[in-house]
A = this chain, B = another copy of it.
Amino acid sequence: MTAPLTNPGGADARDADDQLVADVFARGCGSRRTLENIAGKWGILALSALHEGAYRFNALRRRVDGVSEKMLSQTLQALERDGLVRRDVQTTIPPHVEYSLTPLGARVAERLIDLIELVESELGTVLAAQSEYDRAAADRNRRK
Could you tell me which A residues sit within 8 Å of B by CB distance? 1, 4, 11, 14, 21-27, 30-32, 34-36, 38-41, 44-45, 48-49, 63-66, 80-84, 104, 107-108, 111-123, 125-130, 132-134
Contact = CB atoms under 8 A, between A and B. Distances in A.
Nearest to A81: B133
Contact of A35 (B32, B116, B130): B116
Contacts of A14: 127
Interface of chain A: mostly helix, strand, loop or mixed: helix
A35 B119 contact: yes
A80 B44 CA distance: 22
Nearest to A36: B41
B44 A25 contact: no
Given A22-B123, A35-B116, A39-B115, A4 B63 contact: yes
Given A38-B119, A83-B125, 11 more contacts: A22-B119, A24-B48, A24-B119, A31-B120, A35-B119, A39-B115, A81-B133, A82-B130, A83-B130, A104-B122, A104-B126
